[in-house]
Amino acid sequence: MSKTILITAFFAGGMLVSSTIVSRLGDRYGHLLIMRGLGLLGGLMVASFVLLSSFEWMCAAVFVAGATLASISPVSLALQGVVTPKRALGRANAFYNAAYAAGMLLGPPISSLLFTRMGGGAMLFHLAALWGAFVLFTIVFAKDDPRARGLEAARSDDAEL
């Protein structure tokens, strides 16, 4: 059996272990704050692949990368449900899914092109830069998270729903 199949298993293991725990942390401490932490950690893990030569350390990094990537979506959707008025929730959800699908369609060809022309390191740093852009996005819109305005604001926003 090839050892590379274990990489997928560690990625999926990280996904399985993290989503519920991280979603609860988002509800408690603020969705954008938790997403910012996930983005920082995920970006560091992706960038670290360039430096890692030990298979065991790669498995650990992939586990953490899977945990961060899988957790962002439910935390993001939870925030969307909190800050989006009910009448616009369908439109917001549609936009979220369209953006996600566009990334899934455009990401692999772009990453492949970078890998082919500039090598694996450049491709991985490009992916880490995208994680960095995500973190910047969470900072720019930090005040949209009710938890950032304080627990009372979050409770009043919850009561409106």
**Half-sphere exposure (CA, 13 Å, Cβ side) for 127?**
28
DSSP conformation class of 3: T
The model's pTM: 0.78
Mean pLDDT taken over the chain: 86
In Å, how far from its chain's centre is CA 144? Answer: 18
What pLDDT shows up at residue 92? 85
Distance CA 42, CA 31 (A): 16
Distance CA 63, CA 40 (A): 15
Neighbours of 65 (CB within 10 A): 24
In Å, how far from its chain's centre is CA 41? Answer: 9
Distance CA 160, CA 86 (A): 10
Distance CA 84, CA 92 (A): 7
What pLDDT shows up at residue 148? 73
Q: What is the pLDDT of residues 89-141, one digit of tens each?
A: 888 888 888 998 999 999 999 999 999 999 989 998 999 999 999 999 889 98
